[in-house]
A and B are shown apart, each in its own frame.
Chain A
Amino acid sequence: MENLIWIFVSALLVNNFTLSYFLGLCPFLGVTSRLETAFRLGLANIFVMVITAICSYALNTWVLPYAPYLRLITFIIVIASSVQFVEMAVKKLSPELFKALGIFLPLITTNCAILGLALFATNKGYGFVEGIVYALGAGGGVTLALALLASIREETRLMDIPDLVKGTALNLIIAGIISMAFMGFAGLFSAT
C-alpha cells in the first residue's frame, strides 16, 4: 500500500510528466489559453493513460516476451486502436462524459506522454495495479500542470506585455517558473 502511494505521489508531483519529463508539451503550450479546456484535456489524459496502462500490461505479459523488437510498433497501434474502441463505447454509454472529453480523446492518443507512460511503466517493471496507480498519478500531474499554466495565462491576458515576448516565449518562461516550484517536491521523499 505504501508503495502504491509512493508511486502515485511521485508521478503526480516529484516526477511530473509535463514539468520534469517534458512529455505532452504540445497540448501544454497549445491548449492552455482557457482553464476550462485545459481541465477537460487533463481529464481526457487521465482516461487515456489508464487505458494505456492496461493495454501495455497486457502486451508486456502476453505478446512482447516472444517478440521484444515489436515493442514500439505494438504499443502505438494497440493503444491508438483501443482508445478508438473505448471512445465509441463511451459515446454510446455515457454521452455526458463523451461531451466533456470531446475532440481531445483522439488527439491525446498520439501525445508523447501516453507512449512515455507505457515505456516508463515497462522499464520500471510495474505490475497491473501499480501500472494503473502510476497512470492515475501521471494523468493527475499532467492535469495539474495544464490547469496551473492555464490559470496563469488567463491572468496575463489583460496585462501589458511587449509584443515580442507574447506567445510561446512567455509561456515557456512561465512553465519554467512552475517547474522550478515543483522541484521543491523532490524533498518530499529524501527523508524516507
Chain B
Amino acid sequence: MSAEEFLKGLWKENPVFVAVLGMCPALAVTNSAINALAMGLATTFVLVSSSLLVSLFRNIIPKQVRITAYIVIIATFVTVVDFLLAAYTPVVHKELGAFIALIVVNCLILGRQEAFASKNRAGLALADALGMSFGFTFALLCIGVIREVLGNGSLFGIGVFGEGYEPWVIMILPPGGFFALGFLLLAFNGVTERRKNKAKLKDLN
C-alpha cells in the first residue's frame, strides 16, 4: 500500500511531467545538474517535513483556515532550508538565490498537503511525499543534465565531450529551459502513448 503511494510519484503521477506542477523552479535553476539536484533535495526536505506535520495535525487544524496553516508550516520549513544552505553550502545558496525562498509558492507542495497529507495518516503521507519529491528531483535532474551537457559540454562540472565541442549556449539561457522541458514532455508523452497502444494490442489479441 505504502509502496504504491511511493511509486506513483515517480512515474505515473510525476509532478513535473504529468501534472505540470512546480514549473518555476523546474526551469529557473536547472541550468546545471548540480543546481537541479540541490533544488530537488531542498524541495524534498520541505515537502516531506511539511507533509508529516500536516498529517499529524490534520485533526487539529480547523477547516476554515487550513490553507493559511499549511502555508505557515511550509514557510517555516523553507526558512529552515534557506538558513541551512546559507550556512553549509554558501556557493549553491548564492546560485539558487531567491528561488530557495520561492519554494514556499511551489504549487506542488501546497497541492500535496491539500490533496493527500491532510486526509491520510502519517505513514501514508510520508510515502506519498517521498515519492512525489523523488519524482520531482528526478525530473529536475533530467532537465538539468540535458541543459548542462548540451549548453556547457559538461556534467556536474566535468567535461564530457572534450575540447572540440562547441556548446549550445542557448540551452543554459532561459529559452533552453522551455525547450528542454518541452521536448522532455514530448518524449514522455510518446513513451506513455506507446505503452498504451501496446496494452491495447495485447487486449485485442
Question: What residues make up the interface of A, taking CB atoms closer than 8 Å to B?
Answer: 19-26, 29, 69, 71-73, 76-77, 80, 110-112, 114-116, 119-120, 123, 164-165, 168-173, 175-177, 179-180, 183
Contacts and interface: CB of A to CB of B under 8 A. Distances in A.
Contacts of B75: 72-73, 76
Given A22-B23, A165-B186, A112 B175 contact: no
A151 B72 CA distance: 38
Given A169-B182, A176-B175, A164 B193 contact: yes
B101 A26 contact: no
Nearest to A110: B105
B175 A120 contact: no
Chain B interface residue bracket vs A: 35 or more
Contacts of A175: 178, 182
Interface in B73-106: 75-76, 78-79, 82-83, 97-98, 101-102, 104-106
Contacts of B76: 73
Contact of B104 (A23, A72, A164, A179): A72
Given A22-B27, A29-B20, A179-B174, A172 B181 contact: yes
Interface in B26-80: 27-28, 68, 71-72, 75-76, 78-79
Contacts of B117: none
Nearest to B27: A22
The 3 A-B residue pairs with the shortest CB-CB distance, nearest first, are: A176-B178, A172-B182, A25-B23
B105 A111 contact: yes
Given A123-B98, A169-B186, A76 B104 contact: yes
B199 interface: no
Interface string B131-165: 00000000000000000000000000000000000
B2 interface: no
A135 to B, nearest CB: 16
A33 to B, nearest CB: 15
Contacts of B68: 77, 80
A116 B182 contact: no
19 contacts: A25-B23, A25-B27, A26-B21, A76-B105, A77-B71, A115-B101, A115-B104, A116-B102, A165-B186, A169-B182, A169-B186, A170-B182, A171-B182, A172-B182, A176-B175, A176-B177, A176-B182, A179-B174, A180-B175
Contacts of B107: 26, 110
A111 B185 CA distance: 23
B110 interface: yes
Nearest to A177: B175
A169 B181 CA distance: 8
Nearest to B176: A176
Contacts of A116: 98, 102
B106 A20 contact: no
Nearest to B67: A110
B123 interface: no
A71 B177 CA distance: 29
Contact of B71 (A76, A176, A179, A180): A76
- Of A76, A112, A114, most B-chain CB atoms within 10 Å: A112
Contacts of B170: 180
Given A176-B178, A177-B175, A23 B24 contact: yes
